[in-house]
Amino acid sequence: MEVDELLRRWGGVATRAQLLTRLSRSEVDRTLVNGSVLRVGHGRYGLPHLTADLARAHGLSAVVSHESAALQHGWSVLLPPEQSHLTFPTKRRVKAVDLPDVVLHRADLLPDDISGSHTSQDRTMLDCLRIPDVRRALSVADSALRAGRAPAWLHRIAAEARGPGSGQARRVAAHATDCAANSFESGLRAISLDVPALRMRPQVRLHDRSGEFMGRPDLVDTELRIIAEADSFEWHGGRSALVRDARRYNRFVVEGWMVLRFTWDDVVLEPARVQATLAAAAEERSQPRKTPQNRRNYDVDSVRPRTKFQKPNVR
C-alpha cells in the first residue's frame, strides 16, 4: 500500500513509529525528502496537501479550519478532506461555486481564534465537535486527547459552546477518550453510540476463566460480551499476523464472546450497515441463552445413518 494511502487510512497523520511498521528508516527519510509526507510536529507526519491548504488560505485571505486545521495541529481525522476547509468573515463576498476545491465556512473569528494561517486549537476543536457526523467529530476529539490534551480542556470547550451544534459538542466530549487506538476505531465506536443497548469501551484487557490474559480488543461490551474489532489489512495482512489473530479470536469465542470484525470500508463508507449489524448482535445477546433441550434440531436426515435399503436423499 502506498504511503499516502496508508496515511489516509490512518487519519491523515501518523507517528514515526507507525510509519516504521511499514517502511524502513531510510524509506521514511526518503518520503520526507521527496515530499510524500510532511513533518507536522515532533515525531508526527502528515499528507502533503497540508501545505496546499495553507497556500490556498493565504491566497484567499481566509483561515484553515475544521478538519483541515485539525490535521495542521497533528490530530488525525476519520477521512482526510479532499477539499480545504476554510473560514471566511461573514460579510466577505465569496461564493462556494467559485471555489470548487474549498469547503466554505463563515464566522467572525476573534484574534485568539487564529494561530498563523489556521484556527487555534481551541477554535478548531469547537468547530470539529459541532460536526453533525459523530464519527468525524469523535475521531478528532479522541486524537487530541491521545496527542496530550487534557480531558478537562475538551470538556471546557464543549461546556462553553453555544448555538447550533452545542448539544452535539457536549455529547461527543462526554464520550471522547485517549484510550482509542486510532481514528478508524473512534469511528466504529461512534456508530455504536446510536445502538442504545450497547456500551462499547475501547482497549479493554480481557482474561479467560483461569485469569490468563487473552488480549485487548478494539471495542468491548462487557455486559453483553460482544467484541467489535476494527480490522485493517495493514496490520493483519501477514501470515504470522493471520495465525496470531485466528488463535486469538478462537479463544475469545470459546470463552463466550461474540466477535464482530469490521473493515475500514465498512466504517467509513457503510455506517448504516455497521449499525444494523451491531444492533442485531446486541439484540441476540440480550435474549435468554438457549439450552440444548430447546434448540431446534436442523437437518436431522443429514446426520441419521441410512439403512441398507434406504436410497440417499437428493437435494
Q: Name the phi and psi angles at 198, rounded to 5.
A: -95, 145
Q: Give the residue among 77, 257, 193 at the shortest CA–CA distance from 248.
A: 257
Residue 303 has what pLDDT? 41
As given in the structure block, the three cell numbers for residue 9 are 487510512
- d(C-alpha 75, C-alpha 147), whole Å: 7
Q: Is 77 helix (H, G, I), strand (E, B) or coil?
A: coil
The dihedral region occupied by 218, where left means phi > 0, alpha psi between -120 and 50, and beta the remainder, is alpha
Q: What is the pLDDT along the chain (315 residues), one digit of tens a residue?
A: 577 777 777 778 888 887 887 788 888 888 887 777 878 767 778 777 788 888 889 888 899 999 999 999 999 999 989 899 999 999 888 887 778 889 999 999 999 999 989 999 999 999 999 999 999 999 999 999 999 999 999 999 999 999 999 999 999 999 999 999 999 999 999 999 999 999 999 999 999 999 999 999 999 999 999 999 997 655 445 567 767 888 888 999 999 999 999 999 999 999 999 999 999 999 999 987 654 444 444 343 444 454 555 555 554
d(CA 233, CA 298): 36
**Beta strands 219-221; 201-202: pairing state:** antiparallel
